[in-house]
Amino acid sequence: MLHTNLSVNEKGHLTLAGQDVCALADKYSTPLFLMDEERIRNNCRTYIGAMKEFFPAGSRPLFASKSCCFKRIYEIMAEEGMGIDLVSPGELYTAAAAGFPLENAFFHGNNKTDRDIEYAIDSGVGYFVCDNLEELNSINETAGKKGIVQNILLRLSPGIDPHTQKKISTGKVDSKFGTAIETGQAKELCKYALTLDNVCLKGFHCHIGSQIFEYDSFANAAEIMLTFIAELWRDLGFETDILNLGGGFGVRYVESDPFIDYRENIKGLAGEIDRLCAALSVKKPAILMEPGRSIVADSGVTVYSVGSVKTITGYKSYVSIDGGMPDNPRFALYESDYTALIANKADREPDLVATIAGRCCESGDIIQEDVSLVTPERGDYLAVLVTGAYNFSMASNYNRIPRPPVVMIKGDGSDYVAVKRETYEDLIRNDI
Ligand code: LLP
């Protein structure tokens, strides 16, 4: 199977973390998000271990919680000793409610409002990743009013296209994120930040994109960032403590995607960073990375019930399920690849090519096109694999469809509800 936590049992049922996915669907009903807690923890440990081993002291991973955000995730991240990347006051509120130690949080976003900034400072967020001049002034002013000095990183755009999908490539010069190095604006912003009394510039951040399978794109970004850091040292005598290289390591969604060994990639990247620092004669900064997808994606499976199987004579077949773009908008948005199978017939050979359609009143509500499936019947369970990242967190109530629950499978085989299924009452809660 795609990942080692997926298998098929003696009943011919798909298993996740050794547990029968169909039995869990019987227990909790569908649609259902399942997550393998041990896999999430192991992914955290891989990053923490490799970054500790190969990068300079103080280096660590921050979980990009936009990929999967609910209270229990932050508890797991705290238990594993991960830092976190937050992109909104809502994520901040959730992390605080979970008791996450916010000194280990980095607050992102390209348009933090004054209110967001005050809320984050009051909450004791460790670092702001400051995007632009206006925000820098607002952080400085608010920190001044509160009588504190706020640690910040400046988000820069290194001007790299990591050959990934355009919509999720965010490090190019023409980007809404960060300040460009190439144009000289980053250096100006840095000089200005150094004149301010209530911010303490600790270093720089960049994020080049998502679903990146090899470390060479990160090494290219590191080269640009370290060259900039060397220039600041030479021209301003400013020594950079932290270089945050963002998130983006890829995940295997389909058989044709490569396997990725994160430890080996981190080791390779560390070698490049060592070489660059020596060549540029700069002190090695602590390295931060912000993995989201590669921490949670392969822990997740979504289970649906099949409603209809429709073959349009001479055209194609549609398998309709009881979920769709409200719980997984990624095909509709990016035509993302997924692997799907009939979970209660997982030991049989596929004999049908079909498009998996959701239940929304919209023809673009598709989970995947032209996939090979065992011909299902109404009531069969259809599983979509590797849905732990950017599915629950991007879910909506379009068509007033309640969001599915998140059920965690623990290492000892037990399971528990991490997020309850939404009710119809939840849907009208804020309606006047
Ligand atoms: N750090 C920053 C500043 C980011 O913007 C992102 C993702 C990450 C870290 C985490 O990247 P990851 O390791 O998860 O690739 N909704 C899209 C993905 C958007 C990613 C946006 N930023 C999707 O469903 O593929």
Q: What is the pLDDT of residues 208-239, one digit of tens each?
A: 999 999 999 999 999 999 999 999 999 999 99
Cβ-based neighbour number of residue 397 at 10 Å:
12
Q: Is the CB of 210 under 6 A from ligand 1?
A: yes
**Quick check: helix, strand or coil at residue 281?**
coil
Is the pLDDT confidence value at 169 over 80?
Answer: no
Q: How far is CA 302 from the centre of its chain?
A: 17
Where does the pLDDT of residue 161 fall: very low under 50, low under 70, confident under 90, or very high at 90 and above? Answer: confident
Is the pLDDT confidence value at 166 over 60?
Answer: no
| Nearest alpha carbon, ligand 1 atom 8 | 247
pLDDT of residue 282: 97
Is the pLDDT confidence value at 165 over 90?
Answer: no
Q: How far is the CA of 296 from the centre of ligand 1 (A)?
A: 12
* DSSP-assigned beta bridge partners for residue 6: 16
Q: How far is the CA of 210 from the centre of ligand 1 (A)?
A: 6
pLDDT of residue 173: 75
Instruction: Quote the percentage of the chain above a pLDDT of 90.
Output: 95
Do residues 151 and 126 make contact, with C-beta atoms less than 8 angstroms apart?
yes
CA 291 to ligand 1: nearest atom:
13
Is the pLDDT confidence value at 7 over 80?
Answer: yes
User: How many whole angstroms separate alpha carbon 281 and alpha carbon 294?
Assistant: 33
Q: Is the CB of 402 under 6 A from ligand 1?
A: no
Query: 39, 33, 48: which is closest to 3 by C-alpha?
Result: 39
Q: Is the CB of 330 under 6 A from ligand 1?
A: yes
- CATH homologous superfamily for the domain 6-36+297-427: Lyase, Ornithine Decarboxylase; Chain A, domain 1 (2.40.37.10)
| Nearest alpha carbon, ligand 1 atom 5 | 207
Q: Which of 131, 210, 299 to mutate to test the pocket of ligand 1 (most atoms within 8 A of CB)?
A: 210
Identify whether 206 is a catalytic site residue: no
The two tokens of residue 185 are 């604006």
pLDDT of residue 160: 81
Element (H or E) spanning 180, and its range? strand 179-180
Q: Which of 40, 67, 367, 394 to mutate to test the pocket of ligand 1 (most atoms within 8 A of CB)?
A: 67
Show Cβ contacts of residue 281 under 8 Å, excluding neighbours closer than 6 positions. 230
Q: Is the CB of 155 under 6 A from ligand 1?
A: no
Residues comprising the chain, all counted: 432
Query: 393, 212, 210, 410: which is closest to 299 by C-alpha?
Result: 410
For the chain, the domains span 6-36+297-427, 108-291
Q: What is the pLDDT of residues 54-112, one digit of tens each?
A: 999 999 999 999 999 999 999 999 999 999 999 999 999 999 999 999 999 999 999 99
Asked, as a colleague might, if the bond just before 31 is cis with ω within 30 of 0, I would say yes
Q: Is the CB of 246 under 6 A from ligand 1?
A: yes
Q: Is the CB of 404 under 6 A from ligand 1?
A: no
Is the pLDDT confidence value at 271 over 90?
Answer: yes
Q: How far is the CA of 209 from the centre of ligand 1 (A)?
A: 7
Q: How far is the CA of 292 from the centre of ligand 1 (A)?
A: 6
| Nearest alpha carbon, ligand 1 atom 15 | 248
Q: What is the pLDDT of residues 305-360, one digit of tens each?
A: 999 999 999 999 999 999 999 999 999 999 999 999 999 999 999 999 999 999 99
Chain mean pLDDT for the chain: 96
User: How many whole angstroms separate alpha carbon 356 and alpha carbon 371?
Assistant: 8
Q: Is the CB of 205 under 6 A from ligand 1?
A: no
pLDDT of residue 171: 59
pTM: 0.97
Where does the pLDDT of residue 168 fall: very low under 50, low under 70, confident under 90, or very high at 90 and above? Answer: low
* DSSP-assigned beta bridge partners for residue 106: 85, 127
Where does the pLDDT of residue 167 fall: very low under 50, low under 70, confident under 90, or very high at 90 and above? Answer: low
Q: What is the pLDDT of residues 364-418, one digit of tens each?
A: 999 999 999 999 999 999 999 999 999 999 999 999 999 999 999 999 999 999 9
pLDDT of residue 413: 95
Average pLDDT over residues 231-248: 97
Q: Which of 293, 328, 386, 387 to mutate to test the pocket of ligand 1 (most atoms within 8 A of CB)?
A: 293
At the topology level, CATH places domain 108-291 in: TIM Barrel (3.20.20)
CA-to-CA separations, 80 to 2, 74, 398, in angstroms, rounded: 25, 10, 35
pLDDT of residue 305: 98
pLDDT of residue 163: 64
Where does the pLDDT of residue 41 fall: very low under 50, low under 70, confident under 90, or very high at 90 and above? Answer: very high
Q: Which long-range contacts (CB under 8 A, 24 or more apart) does 9-12 make?
A: 12/344, 12/345, 12/346, 12/347, 12/348
